[in-house]
Amino acid sequence: MSTAHAAEPEAGADIVQRSINTIRTLSIDAVEQAKSGHPGTPMALAPLVYTLWNRVMQFDPQDPIWPNRDRFVLSNGHASMLLWSLLHLTRTRAVNSEYERLGRPAVTLDDIRHFRQLDSRAPGHPEYGWVSGVETTTGPLGQGVATSVGMAMAEKWLAQRYNQNGFEIFGYNIYAVCGDGCLMEGLSSEAASLAAHLGLDNLCWIFDNNHITIEGDTNITFTEDVAARFLAYGWNVLRVGDANDIDRIEHALQIFHRTRDRPTFIVLDSHIGYGSPHKQGTAAAHGEPLGEEEVRLVKRYYGWPEDAKFLIPEGVYEHFAEGVGSRGAKARAEWTELFAGYRAKYPKLAAEIDQIERRELPAEWERNLPVFPADPQGMAGREASGKVLNVLAQNIPWLLGGSADLGPSNKTILAGAGDFQAHTPGGKNVHFGIREHAMAAVVNGLCLSKLRAYGASFFVFSDYARPAMRLSALMEVPAIYIFTHDAMGDGEDGPTHQPVEHLASLRAIPGLVTLRPGDANEVVEAYRYIMRLRREPAVLALTRQALPTIDRTKYAPASGLAHGAYVLADAPGGNPELILIASGSELILAVNAHEQLMAEGIRSRVVSMPSWDIFENQTRRYRNSVLPPDVTARIAIEQASTFGWERYIGAAGRVIGMETFGASAPLKELQRKFGFEPDRVVLVAKELVGR
């Protein structure tokens, strides 16, 4: 027994109900002690998660990263106490960032006592990487269910590639719990539509149909027929009319297991804050602590000692050990034995699975990466990217991805790699449709399943994907985002399609590596850098238009990109009086201006700066060697917002950038209008050096 109180629930309460009420009361006590959080949903959904975990899921608490485990996603992450209670009661063990089993509990009772407090392994919302047993970070509503689609796709892909006759190495299910808020967010609609199209019969969403959000009853905003909506998508829709009926819940989950060629959506009718009758169904039970008096009333309703706090009655730990613990251990042991036989018969495939699980790359993953010859006509960034992607996809079997309906334009189609569709889930070309937000969330789900995945669109539409991209960085998963049409290269389309503030906004996301390469060989080096990342997502901003391929026999090698910024061209003796800093399509502009300045006797240096993020992680000595502090005459050149460049140009420097939105016109006219021409750079340079 783990409590400061010796009291037990009333005699006669069976172990099942006692276990369910333990989940409820732990949640109530944690929220009350924190004076913060959401007790209502954990109270209502305790029977569901008990049934799912202790009767249905294949999950071994002793090894929460066992590859063939079922995945549980709490999309309505404000109910995180459900998960902390489960991870504690099942005695799930912790794993570190190197995938080593630590032996200590993932969530202790002390963590629960310190719910929502600094350093507790029971934070306010589920956080992947911080707490073992959390499959994805949730909280922003809709993200969890959308990410679960990527997880389901990953299982289908893994099973198609690696399962062999007599060896079902991958065959797990994904369960996602969601609420009204998740289903109001447009993201869930995008993801649900894609999941049905792909026939993901390994995916089950369970909808907590409680009719309550923060502002009150959902009838003030949300009166659609949700079940009909999911039927229209093509899901198998089931209904359980009482969230406390664990037998009916289990029966619905058994139907999910038997359903083929479509995902399952279970409508679970519940009353949020189920407990004290006068509190039942109120928004207060959803979004704030109950208060001491209400806590006593609720516990009395449950037949629980009213003064007990964080009580775990006799037999509850053992009950979970006999349920999910025993079932999960048996399933993992059988799988481990199966995989040993698989390794003996299919050693190459087994070695690939090992590498996937450790986020490693094949030994020769860089083989045949292109080197582009100097060419004044050059190549678009997107073209170079497509060539590199196709080589990488041949070298790395588990690299897959696609575009939000722009594959031919983004150049992300992998030749001969097949399409990921309902009946061909082994294809590596994923067609996300015009669903940028869901695309980014799905990429997260694929990456959380240890595949290397990318999603692509026009750079301006990164706005639609940004919330899920932020979660990529927060979770530290190596998602790859490929964005083309990175500036004004699609001129005639006008300002709606010309990204201005996007580089600055993505550079502002902690842990997201943003790269804007300046020619085809910098694109190669960008991929070389990105593919080595294990815990950082990356953005590639690429041009639509051709850029000259810089002569690397005359200028510095593109491998300097690995430092974020490097000296591309310099004054004789390396003693510049002026520094030109540029990224992307403006790099050749800086080079041309440099040549003109040098001809006029002005000693200039060109610094290619494709990535602020990488550069900031270099030593101070290196950064000072590229941008000597005593050279204060500096010009930054970038077809984007000037915001942030002051950190590199200082008070004396200038930025040639965008202070407004763009315009609809051919590219050359836009370059002239906004000052992206060598003569403008030279003029500003002369002003700075007083010539």
Can you give the pLDDT at residue 216? 77
CA distance 520 to 517: 8
Decide if pLDDT at 273 tops 80: no
Can you give the pLDDT at residue 13? 58
Distances (CA, A) of 384 to 396, 524, 591: 18, 7, 20
Decide if pLDDT at 655 tops 50: yes
Cα angle 414, 418, 423; round to 5: 150
Q: How far apart are the first and last CA of the chain?
A: 82
Can you give the pLDDT at residue 100? 81
Distances (CA, A) of 211 to 39, 242, 264, 279, 434: 16, 14, 21, 15, 30
Question: Mean per-residue pLDDT for 388-402?
Answer: 98
Taking phi over 0 as left and psi of -120 to 50 as alpha, with beta for the rest, 662 belongs to: beta
Can you give the pLDDT at residue 613? 96
Can you give the pLDDT at residue 10? 54
Decide if pLDDT at 276 tops 70: no
Share of the chain above pLDDT 90, in %: 90
Can you give the pLDDT at residue 270? 87
Q: Which residues contact 499 (CB under 8 A, 6 or more apart)?
A: 458, 459, 460, 462, 485, 486, 487, 640
Other Cβ atoms less than 10 A from the Cβ of 314: the count is 11
Question: Mean per-residue pLDDT for 382-394?
Answer: 98
Q: Which CATH class is domain 561-689?
A: alpha beta
The CATH number of the structural domain formed by 32-58+66-89+139-330 is 3.40.50.970
- Give yes or no: 436 in active site: yes
Q: Convert the pLDDT of each residue in 85-131 to its tens digit.
A: 999 999 999 998 888 878 899 999 999 999 999 999 999 999 999 99
Q: Convert the pLDDT of each residue in 222-244 to its tens digit.
A: 889 999 999 999 999 999 999 99
**Closest listed residue to residue 403, CA positions, set 350, 343, 465:** 465
Q: In this structure, what DSSP letter does residue 136 have?
A: S
CA distance 8 to 12: 11
Q: Is 156 helix (H, G, I), strand (E, B) or coil?
A: helix
Q: State the amino acid at position 73 in one-letter form.
A: V
Q: Which H or E run contains 484?
A: strand 480-484
Question: Mean per-residue pLDDT for 443-462?
Answer: 98
> Is it true that 32-58+66-89+139-330 and 375-548 share their CATH fold?
yes
* Domain definitions of the chain by residue range: 32-58+66-89+139-330, 375-548, 561-689
Q: Convert the pLDDT of each residue in 62-83 to its tens digit.
A: 999 999 999 999 999 999 999 9
Assigned token pair, 322: 């006999």
Can you give the pLDDT at residue 4? 36
Decide if pLDDT at 287 tops 80: no
Q: Which residues contact 284 (CB under 8 A, 6 or more apart)?
A: 273, 290
Active-site residue among 155, 352, 436, 536?
436
Tell which CATH classification among 3.40.50.970, 3.30.70.260, 3.40.50.1860, 3.40.140.10 matches the domain 375-548. Answer: 3.40.50.970
